[in-house]
Amino acid sequence: MAKRDYYEILGVEKGASSDDIKKAYRKLAIQFHPDKNPGDKASEEKFKEATEAYEILSDTQKRARYDQYGFAGIDPSAGGGAGFGSEAFRDFEDLFGGFGDIFGSFFGSSSRRGDSTPRGNDLRYGVEIDFKDAVFGTKVDIAYTHNASCSVCGGSGAEADSKKKVCPTCQGSGQVRRSSGFFSIAQPCPTCGGEGHIIEKPCRACRGSGLEKKQVKRSVEIPAGIEQGKKIRINGLGEAGPNGGQAGDLYVAVHVRDHESFERNGNDLYCQIPISIVQAALGAEISVTTLDDKKIKLKIPAGTQSGKMLRVKEAGVPFLHMNGKRGDLYIKIYVEVPANLSSKAKDLLAQLGAQIGSNDEPKPMKLSQIE
């Protein structure tokens, strides 16, 4: 049966660039790989066909001979070159960035040695702290139970007098190869779990897992400026890995209680302060207590309107991991209108109204126009 044109197989034009050829082959290789289509002879043939086309068109010299002479230019019997063989896969690492990375996602395997030893699970621990502690930092004590290395066998999973022997299935490599047609994939050995050895006498305390339950108590530093929902990562305090595998990490999730007076936006703090009509009209100097319990003097300009925002520089939240730098404190002024007035006070206000006048037909304004 006559062969199909290599450009037609890959679905590219004759003048296609090497990158276009590589992309086209990568797409077909993923689509028709035998392990993705087990038992499908048609897919296997298409995979072989695409691989042969890529082997020729990705090689500058072979492609030139093919473009000039067709299949006769690459026929090894005609002295044209190497033909289709083991060289077809010389660019597989470059093409896929690692065989295991691309096909492992489809077939649940990895070809890299050393990936088979399982890592311990990460753990999450939630703490709730006061608003003020989140702003200025604190320490919290936590306690939790996790899988730690077995204290009897030291995490090896074996009795003290037990020896490890080479796995009879993988002969110590930790991998077995599964073939499909002309192609094979390395996977962790199912007998030893990729370790390359098996334990003759498993530890009686941990039954060969190398793990035991332990309680951990420790103090965790909460940095100043941490925000609601942020997590603090502590390396190696998660679950221990089976058979001496690397331990996971502990993530401490921080939940912050609301404050009765202050709110936060980024590194800035916001609060609201009431003043009297007289203070607003004539101006005043008032004392304000900040979140860190400091007394500051705040000048109220004469004629201040309700809703006016005043800024106190660097009285806000410390920037995380930036010593000394803080956000600002924004104080919103609202003018209190007295609800209960004496007769004399009413007379005085009436006199004031006569002096300054009143607006009997106010013009509506957008909320954004009001300070």
**Domain final position from 107, 137, 152:** 107
State the average pLDDT over residues 37-42.
82
* 62 occurs within a structural domain: yes
Tokens representing 235 are 């390396």
pLDDT digits (tens, 9 = 90+) for 14-25: 888 988 899 899
CATH code where residue 324 lies: 2.60.260.20
* 348 occurs within a structural domain: yes
| Per-residue pLDDT at 110 exceeds 60 | no
Distance CA 320, CA 315 (A): 15
* pLDDT at residue 227, rounded to an integer: 93
* Residues facing 299 on adjacent strands: 285
| Per-residue pLDDT at 2 exceeds 50 | yes
Q: How many domains does the chain have?
A: 2
* 131 occurs within a structural domain: no
CATH code where residue 96 lies: 1.10.287.110
**Domain final position from 72, 91, 107:** 107
Position 38 confidence tier, pLDDT thresholds 50, 70, 90: confident
Position 136 confidence tier, pLDDT thresholds 50, 70, 90: very high
* 24 occurs within a structural domain: yes
* 285 occurs within a structural domain: yes
* Cβ-based neighbour number of residue 133 at 10 Å: 18
* pLDDT at residue 268, rounded to an integer: 96
Range of the domain at 63: 6-107
Position 119 confidence tier, pLDDT thresholds 50, 70, 90: confident
pTM equals: 0.57
**Domain final position from 91, 107, 123:** 107
* 245 occurs within a structural domain: no
Q: How far from chain centre, in Å, is Cα 371? A: 41
Distance CA 368, CA 371 (A): 8
* 84 occurs within a structural domain: yes
* 190 occurs within a structural domain: no
> CB burial class (10 A; 0-12, 13-18, 19+) of residue 278?
exposed
